[in-house]
Amino acid sequence: MKADALRGHLDGLLLATLDGRRLHGYAIIEALQQRSGGAVSLPTGTVYPALRRLEKAGYVRSEWSTVGGRQRRSYSLTPSGKSSLENERREWREFTAAIEGVLCGATTAV
């Protein structure tokens, strides 16, 4: 998938991946790949700064834990993050419906 196609949707993708679960950064990357059938493969240099930005905005929280003797930072949604995700989903449905109408030639009365 072209990186340009994801522009503007990264926050929604990350929030949706965290919906209802707590994941560390690499697990988020793996979940995105799995849920997209391999179409979405983001580098750590894109994901980690975005997670920090979402945390600063209050949409995700993080906590450190030790797994196998290594420190690991896990992320989960805050109530504000859940609300933001719902807005992202609503806007996505509206956007895709409009594009579907244009690309597939659906007609509506004006």
Looking at residue 43, its amino acid is P
Q: pTM for the full model? A: 0.85
The tokens for 102 are 């244009």
Q: What is the pLDDT of residues 13-28, one digit of tens each?
A: 999 999 999 999 999 9
105: pLDDT confidence band, cut at 50, 70 and 90?
Answer: confident
Give the angle 101-105-108 at the CA atoms, nearest 5°: 60
Q: Within its chain, how far is the Cα of 9 from the centroid?
A: 7
Residue whose entry in the numeric block shows the structure tokens 């993708």: 13
Q: What is the pLDDT of residues 26-84, one digit of tens each?
A: 999 999 999 999 999 888 988 999 999 999 999 999 999 888 898 999 999 999 999 99
Give percent helix, percent strand, percent coil of the chain, each to the nearest 5.
Answer: 55, 15, 25
